[in-house]
Amino acid sequence: MSDLAWTRVDEYIAAYLLGPDDALDAALDANEAGGLPPIDVSATQGKLLHLLARIAGARRILEVGTLGGYSTIWLARALPEDGRLVTLELDPHHAEVARANIAGAGLADKVDIRVGAAEDTLNAMTAADEGPFDFVFIDADKPGNVAYLRAAIALSRPGATIIVDNVVREGGVLEAASDDPRIQGTRALFEAVAAEPRLSATAVQTVGTKKWDGFLIAVLGAPA
Using only C-alpha atoms, the chain has a radius of gyration, in whole angstroms, of 17
Report d(CA 44, CA 37) in Å as an integer: 19
pTM of the model: 0.96
Strands (E), 24-155: 60-64, 84-89, 111-115, 133-138
Q: Looking at the domain 3-220, which fold is it?
A: Rossmann fold (3.40.50)
Helix (H, G, I), strand (E, B) or coil at 113: strand
The percent of residues above 70 in pLDDT, for the chain, comes to 99
**pLDDT tens digit string along 34-81?**
999 999 999 999 999 999 999 999 999 999 999 999 999 999 999 999
**pLDDT tens digit string along 170-223?**
999 999 999 999 999 999 999 999 999 999 999 999 999 999 999 999 999 977
Report d(CA 58, CA 224) in Å as an integer: 23
* Averaged pLDDT for residues 154-179: 97
Report d(CA 205, CA 169) in Å as an integer: 10
Whether the pLDDT of residue 124 is over 90: the answer is yes
Helix and strand numbers (H, E) in the chain are 8, 7
Number of neighbours of residue 124 by Cβ within 10 angstroms: 12
Domain locations in the chain?
A: 3-220
Strands (E), the chain: 60-64, 84-89, 111-115, 133-138, 156-165, 199-206, 213-220
